[in-house]
Amino acid sequence: MKPFIALLLAVALPCSTALAWSRPGHMVSAAIAYDELSAQDRRIVERVVALAEKHPDRGAFEVAIGRAKGEERGRRIFLELARWPDDTRGSIHDHPTWHYWSRPIVDKSSPPAKLPEDVPEGAAYEAFALNLSVASDPRASASERAVALAWIFHLVGDIHQPLHSVSQVSKRFPEGDRGGSLQFVLDPVAAEPVSLHWYWDDRVSRDGEPELAMERGEDLMRRVPRSQFRLQPFKSATEFSEWARESYQLATTLAYGPDLRASDSAKTAPEQPKRYLDESLQVAEQRLTLAGYRLTEVLRWAFRNER
């Protein structure tokens, strides 16, 4: 791994490291939070499940839960909370600008004639702060808190995907490439062209089966244990902006780094060098696992006054 990337990961690790993540990826971060809370603070699991039962979009949850009961029902509710903001796209519940909080970066090899005046920034930070306020308020209705919880689950994951924090501007994309959505690479698994954004979304997990999401979460927790991170109890929504800055730096140095090979046409989407494939997988796994651990801390804070 490049020295700068290793140094950046050390922000979260001790001295000894326009979706964000696909739906399966979001399910994995929720699986990590579920496992931690189930083992350490069952009270919070029970509160989350009780509120989710009042979610106004019952159809999506009934499909996700199926006939599951008991422990399995609780797991599936956690997983659906994390992916629901993607499942509800196009509905009355949809908030497209809530999924990202982008800042421009300039392609130095092909800078635009002038910097754009208005690159869409998104409202992920504002959305996180708003939904955290609602979810942690026992005076809010159960249905309002359930929707807010789903967005919290989802946004914590979103902001840890590096391409949800940037939009590259260049001669080809003077108004920005929408977080890599306008650039294309060859998917190393399917050998088909995908957007650079989707390449990162899909890097960690591709299977949406609940059992496999739980297995993937357990695997990541073994290989990237909480003890490797400098995690502190969550204190306020302003921490979200620091998570965004981490993603921005990783996007600058790796996602759009010197090893990237991309095209503005799907027809000419190139393969990626092995180093890019290896480093992007390592960083994506680190970020998604860290999102799961941080989600645990956010939920502990949100229910801190409810016993």
Instruction: Give the separation between CA 86 and CA 212, rounded to whole angstroms.
Output: 19
Side-chain half-sphere CA neighbours of 112 within 13 A? 16
pLDDT at site 19: 55
Q: What DSSP state is assigned to residue 181?
A: T
The whole-number average pLDDT for the span 167-183 is 93
The whole-number average pLDDT for the span 173-185 is 94
pLDDT at site 108: 86
Q: In the structure, what pLDDT confidence band is assigned to residue 118 with cuts at 50, 70 and 90?
A: low
Q: In the structure, what pLDDT confidence band is assigned to residue 222 with cuts at 50, 70 and 90?
A: very high
> Which among 110, 108, 213, 121 has a CA at the least distance from the CA of 164?
121
pLDDT at site 1: 55
- Beta strand extents in 140-207 (DSSP E only): 166-169, 184-186, 193-195
How much is the mean pLDDT over the chain?
91
- Whether 227 shows a pLDDT value over 60: the answer reads yes
Instruction: Give the separation between CA 46 and CA 37, rounded to whole angstroms.
Output: 10
The pair of three-digit structure tokens given for residue 38, joined into one six-digit string: 């189930």
Instruction: Give the separation between CA 66 and CA 169, rounded to whole angstroms.
Output: 45
Q: At a CB cut-off of 8 Å and minimum separation 6, what does 76 contact?
A: 64, 65, 66, 68, 210
Q: What is the pLDDT of residues 60-112, one digit of tens each?
A: 999 989 888 999 999 999 999 999 999 999 999 999 999 999 899 998 888 88
Q: At a CB cut-off of 8 Å and minimum separation 6, what does 68 contact?
A: 75, 76
The pair of three-digit structure tokens given for residue 68, joined into one six-digit string: 């599951």
- Proportion of the chain above pLDDT 70, given as a percent: 92
- Whether 189 shows a pLDDT value over 50: the answer reads yes
> Which among 164, 126, 150, 159 has a CA at the least distance from the CA of 290?
159
The pair of three-digit structure tokens given for residue 283, joined into one six-digit string: 């960083």
Instruction: Give the separation between CA 239 and CA 112, rounded to whole angstroms.
Output: 32
The whole-number average pLDDT for the span 16-28 is 73
User: pLDDT higher for 14 or 6?
Assistant: 6
- Helix, strand or coil for residue 304? coil
The amino acid present at 94, given as its one-letter code, is D
Could you give phi then psi for residue 4, rounded to 5 degrees?
-65, -40
The pair of three-digit structure tokens given for residue 222, joined into one six-digit string: 């073994």
Q: Which helix (H) or strand (E) holds 176?
A: none
Instruction: Give the separation between CA 135 and CA 299, rounded to whole angstroms.
Output: 9
User: The pTM is what?
Assistant: 0.91
Confirm if 185 and 262 have CB atoms less than 8 A apart: yes
> Which among 213, 203, 178, 173 has a CA at the least distance from the CA of 283?
203
pLDDT at site 219: 97
- Whether 255 shows a pLDDT value over 70: the answer reads yes
